[in-house]
Amino acid sequence: MSGALCGLWVADDGRVHTAVETATGGRETRVEALRPFAWLAEGDYPAGEGVTLEPLAGEGFFTRLAQADNLACFEAWQDACKAAGAKGLDVVRPLESQYLLQARQRLFVELPFGRLRRCQLDIETGSASGAFSDATQADDRVLAIGLRQGGVNRFLVLAEETDAAEKRLLEEFNAALAELDPDTIEGHNLFKFDLDYLRLRAKRHKVPCAWGRFGQRAKFRASRLKVAERWVDFPRCDLPGRTVIDTYLLVQLHDITARELQSYGLKEVAIYFGATTDDDGRTYLAGDRIAAAYREDRDTFLAYLGDDLRETAGVSDVLLPTYFEQTKTFPILFQEATLRGTTGKIDLLFLEDYYHARRACPVPPEIAPFEGGYTRSFQEGVFRHVLHFDVASLYPSLLILLDRNPCNDPLGVFIPLLRRLRTYRLKYKQIARTGPTGEERAEAQARQASFKILINSFYGYLGFSGARFGDGELAAEVTRRGRELLQQLIEGFAAEGATILEADTDGIYLSSEAYFDRPGDLLAKVEKLLPAGIELEHDGRYDAMWCYKAKNYALREGDRVILRGSALRSRGIEPFLKGLTWHLIRHLLGLEPESPLARIARLRLAIAARELPVAELAKAEILGMNPDAYERFIAEGGKPRRAAAEAALQLNPRPRMGERIRYYLTPKAKGRTSDWQRARPLALYDPAAPETGYDPQAYLEKLDDWLERHGALIGATPAGGVQGELL
């Protein structure tokens, strides 16, 4: 196929519709047939018209391949198998992945990120009641739809606040998307708000959501995404031939490791990622002023919408390239690359080779628990002259050194694939440093970052119980060797007079005044302990380090402070305590001369007098259950009751699972002494209603708890006893 593949959709009739880049940068649509297939376990399967069953070589759970002439034949045969009670069919889904795997095709191959047709989308809405706009209310409506493609804004604005005008606006939106023909539609909170709101308003006015390619409409379904240990519910939207990118979800995935964002709102996120600065002259409008600006100050209204689009593009510029490069690697759709876990992606690479080799395939094996990496905190307190060394790609390097494929990979795909990906990564890492143009260097950086993530995921894949080619024994052997290697390095550094502070899996923090200004000399002495193929790197130099407890520490690099560990970065801590902890850390690291003692005294007085703003006291938690489901759970006698969930029940509209809610505690009363009974959403705080104000005693006790943990560092004791100063 000539030209980069920029869009793909398999229709219900089994025809494969593609959008291919032309020589002039346009998009040309083509149609071809899909020959769907499935792996089969041993058993009896009915014959099917247009379906052939082929035995596969080697041993495995799936020993045959069923292949159909077309999708109609395949689905009829599947129905016959179901009716006959036949089991053991394994079908690659979605069918677009099946097509890519079968044809050894990838989306966007040889297409630079800059040639991707990206369209940012944001809407502004109005409410007749003045409350938060609700698409299900007849008189609430879309005020404007903003589109940005190639850096050019297009504003579709409601002509008048009538149903007929809103219907025309939605029809204009359909026409604009057809004209722009983007590969991606990007927005912040796009799934939960913008597209869902447009869907509901389009349904009310009987306007088709004709937002896809090939004349197709949008498809919606309830979905969820796992972000670390929690699930996020959202109404997923799929556009045939296009990709929907929700930066709100990508930011949360990014923050799994960074854990530096206090809010996932667009304004805060844009500042964090450098998508906006004070020099940009950003237009701000409070939520309750947007509709008024639409009616009274149209220029400000459109400037605000334009800035939302610009910031969305800027955030996407940072987060999207890695997923774009993943799409060039895996037989998946771009949208799947942003929403699918690594295990499923790696599985597809294996399945592609097994399909074309016509080899039998395994099922995911049971993975027994095994010991993980070496983790130990050696010291507590503050240390100077800190160096960090780590082993480059420790586990992938050990896998290549072992040169052993998983036990259920008879075709031997794993290690050759890992070697190939590492070679690609090193190639693009070099180009990222030496490429002739900034665009080429940025493209190469995105590629090497994508390959780095993928390569480092191979070890995790081995030990994951859902991985088809997993191997717990091999994963355990890798971690065992990793622990031995790290122990050797610790002993080697200690022999050179270094004080070991913290060790975690593949890295070591140490204090060494002698080598602080010449870490390369220390590296040269210790790296001799490593076997060939394993590389030690000097990864950082820090003025000071506060070792709090295992996997929790703070580093000073000039005027910058870096926090590691959930104990120091938890977003659930009340802001007044978070600020106090930050003050303490900067004081310990030598960046804040004033002790936190005076701040503690001021906080104690302000809380007792109810003068501290309630926002400083409000705890933030992410909902682990939808409020409606929680309400049913409690009605059926479920326990325990949770303060955040109880607060969520008081809001209208109710938030969804995965959203963050902020709440504070009201004073204790008869029958209302538990936190869950006293939790009230910050959004409902009314300073004119003292009965719903905050409970000073609860927050003074929290301040005492903080002093219990940290007071000894600054000569303080709980209950205000700070060496006699704060009483």
Mean pLDDT of 321-343: 94
Give the span between the Cα atoms of 530 and 548, in whole angstroms. Answer: 30
DSSP per residue, 177-199: HHHH--SEEEETTIIIIIIHHHH
Percent above pLDDT 70 for the chain: 98
Model confidence over 220-267: pLDDT tens digits?
Answer: 999 999 887 788 889 999 999 999 999 999 999 988 876 777 778 899
Average predicted confidence (pLDDT) for the chain: 92
Residue 311 has pLDDT above 90, yes or no: yes
The tens digit of pLDDT for each residue in 122-170 reads 999 999 887 788 999 999 999 999 999 999 999 999 999 999 999 999 9
Q: For the chain, what are the domain ranges?
A: 5-106, 113-323, 330-363+408-466, 366-400+471-569, 574-714
Closest CA to 312 of 262, 260, 258, 276: 276
Q: What is the pLDDT of residue 525?
A: 96
**CATH superfamily membership of 574-714:** B family DNA polymerase, thumb domain (1.10.132.60)
Q: What is the 3-state secondary structure (H, E, C) of 40-63?
A: EECCCCCCCCCEEEEECECCCCEE
Q: What is the pLDDT of residues 599-634, one digit of tens each?
A: 999 999 999 999 999 999 999 988 888 898 899 999
Q: Give 532-589 pLDDT, tens digit per residue.
A: 989 999 999 999 999 998 889 999 999 999 998 888 877 778 999 999 999 999 999 9
Average pLDDT over residues 287-308: 94
Antiparallel, parallel or unpaired: β 660-665 and 619-622: antiparallel
pLDDT at 280: 73
pLDDT higher than 60, residue 722: no
9-12 contacts, C-beta under 8 A, 24 or more apart: 9/96, 9/212, 9/213, 9/214, 9/216, 9/240, 9/241, 10/34, 10/71, 10/94, 10/95, 10/96, 10/98, 10/99, 11/214, 11/240, 12/71
Residue pLDDT, tens place only, 455-498: 989 999 999 988 999 999 999 999 999 999 999 999 999 999 99
**pLDDT classification of 652: cutoffs 50, 70, 90:** confident
**pLDDT, average across residues 653-671:** 87
The reply to whether 574-714 shares the fold of 113-323 is no
What is the model's pTM? 0.85
- pLDDT higher than threshold 70 for residue 727: no
**pLDDT attached to residue 671:** 82
Q: How confident is the model at residue 443 (pLDDT cuts 50, 70, 90)?
A: confident
Average pLDDT of span 650-656: 87
- List the structure tokens of 277: 């600065």
- Tell me: the pLDDT tens digits for 2-45? 689 999 999 999 999 999 999 999 999 999 999 999 999 999 99
Contact 106/345 with Cβ under 8 angstroms?
A: no
- Which pLDDT score, from 0 to 100, does residue 638 have? 87
Strands 536-549 and 5-10, by their bridges, are: unpaired
Cα–Cα distance for residue pair 105/342, rounded to 1 Å: 19
pLDDT of amino acid 263: 78
Is it the case that residue 719 has pLDDT exceeding 70? Answer: no
| Topology given in CATH for the domain delimited by 366-400+471-569 | Palm domain of DNA polymerase (3.90.1600)
Q: 725 falls in which pLDDT band (50, 70, 90)?
A: very low
Q: pLDDT digits over 185-230, tens only?
A: 999 999 999 999 999 999 999 999 999 999 999 999 999 998 877 8
Give the pLDDT confidence score for residue 2 in this predicted structure.
64
Tell me the H-state helices in 496-547: 519-526
* 112 pLDDT higher than 60: yes
Residue 465: strand, helix, or coil: coil
Laid out side by side, the sheet with 118-126 consists of: 152-157, 141-149, 118-126, 184-187, 243-246
DSSP state letter for 285: -
Average pLDDT over residues 268-297: 88
The per-residue DSSP string of 254-281 comes to HHHHH---S--SHHHHHHHTTS--GGG-
**Per the structure block, which two tokens stand in for 293?**
């600006």
- Ordered alpha helix ranges (H), 330-413: 334-339, 342-357, 394-402
Give the single-character DSSP code of 283.
-
Amino acid at 593: P
Q: How much of the chain, in percent, has pLDDT values that exceed 90?
A: 79
Q: Which amino acid is at 691?
A: E
**Alpha-carbon distances, residue 642 vs 55, 159, 648, 693, 695 (angstroms):** 55, 46, 10, 20, 18
Q: What pLDDT is stored for residue 696 in this prediction?
A: 95
Q: What is the CATH number of domain 113-323?
A: 3.30.420.10
Q: Does the pLDDT at position 654 exceed 50?
A: yes
